[in-house]
Amino acid sequence: MEQTLSIIKPDGVKKGLTGKIILMFEENGFEIKAIKKVQLTKKEAEEFYYVHKDRPFFDSLISFMTEGAIVPMVLSAESAISKNREIMGATNPKDAKEGTIRKMFAESIERNIVHGSDSPESSKSEISFFFNILEIL
């Protein structure tokens, strides 16, 4: 089994979609190994999204990710990383397939409801950013 990090972003939490999104993961064969609700500081958000620091959208991403609570979770399944990305849908909801989280719930490419790790390396570092070994069951 593979593990991946998924985050319900502030827009998803504010819209009351946390339960619906979690249910979608569970209905698609994911086991939730860890979950919490947190609010990132600016410094924490900058550290988490450091790979995007030179991108033009970095400041707006940091502002968005600190505007409210988020729900990070560790998901486990066969091919969890690719499966999660498939369920989330394309980053731009206009390009996302019907039935995906972003197609159903996202407003825009920047306010796109969820985050998911994109590789085994990022999954490992992103999981350890939010969870210690004792929190992952």
Catalytic positions, written as ranges = 115
81's tokens: 């990383």
Phi, psi of 126 (to 5 degrees): -70, -40
**Helices and strands counted in the chain (H then E):** 7, 4
Coil, strand or helix at 48: helix
Give the whole-angstrom CA distance, residue 6 versus residue 4: 7
